[in-house]
Amino acid sequence: MEPTTEIRRLLDLMPASGRMLTKIVGKREQTKVIDYAFPMPWQQERRISINFDLWRRLPQPQRDLLLLRTVSWLTAVKWFKPDVYQGVVLAGLLGTVVEIVQGDVVGTVAAGALTAIAGTRIWRNNHSSQIEVEADEAAVRVAGRRGYAEAEAAQHLLSAIEAVAQMEGRPTLDFMELLRRQNLQAIAGLSSAGIPETLREK
């Protein structure tokens, strides 16, 4: 597999939003098959790094679903969207600046604390099990527009999760992967039990 050719193929596979936001790079020295960092608000580009020596060992459908899932997760992370926490962060930042200008130490601490609390909540929302599961579901939907049946796409992603863990030398799946696995089994029709809403929202 020639990395440049595979990168071009993967870019064609992505939805338009993914092509605009993400960049794929080869990284032979990394131990993970595919890796990405949590995108910070000041980063315009969301980088996906792939170890092509490991990547080529996966069947193409598994590679496709892994890539689509990664792009779905990266594009789902939203720092700036109209909701109460973003409003509180903006109000807190503005209040902090005003209090600093006025020299009010107590007001500065209070406004700073408000900003930190709301910012932490945004961070937690972007690291929840809900966003992980929804990224899988979004990848399956996009795969449907690329010629995969829903159940087939879910099975390929499920197999990819297990194959990647094995290739990376991890004897067991972590909690989030097990949760995703259960949801994908339900989508693929392999299990009648999905994941409870209480776990989805954690």
Query: Which residue did the predictor score with more confidence, 102 or 119?
Result: 102
Distance, CA of 70 to CA of 47 (rounded, Å): 10
Q: Tokens standing for 20?
A: 């605009």
Q: How far apart are CA 47 and CA 40, in angstroms?
A: 11
pLDDT tens string 134-189: 999 999 999 999 999 999 999 999 999 999 999 999 989 998 899 999 999 999 98
Please check whether residue 92 is in contact with residue 118, taking contact to mean a CB–CB distance below 8 angstroms.
yes
Query: pLDDT per residue over 75-90, tens digit each?
Result: 887 655 554 445 555 5
Write b or e for each residue in 30-53: b if 16 or more Cβ atoms lie within 10 A of its Cβ, otherwise e.
eeebbebeebeeeeeebebbbbbe
25 strand-pairing partners: 49
Rounded to the nearest integer, the mean pLDDT of the chain is 82
Looking at residue 9, what is its pLDDT? Answer: 96
Share of the chain above pLDDT 70, in %: 71
- Name the band, by pLDDT with cuts 50, 70 and 90, for residue 40: confident
* Tokens coding 66: 């892994």
Is the pLDDT at 43 greater than 90, yes or no? Answer: no
What pLDDT score does 121 carry? 61
Per-residue pLDDT for 128 more than 80?
A: no
In the structure, what pLDDT confidence band is assigned to residue 13 with cuts at 50, 70 and 90?
A: very high
Which pLDDT belongs to residue 146? Answer: 94
Q: Contact 128/201 with Cβ under 8 angstroms?
A: yes
Q: Where are the domains of the chain?
A: 3-77+127-200, 84-125
Between residues 193 and 79, which one has the greater pLDDT? 193
pLDDT of residue 90: 55
Q: Global pTM?
A: 0.77
CA distances from 115 to 11, 51, 120, 147, 191 (A): 37, 38, 9, 45, 43
The H-or-E segment that residue 183 falls in is: helix 175-187
Task: Determine the pLDDT at residue 76.
Answer: 82
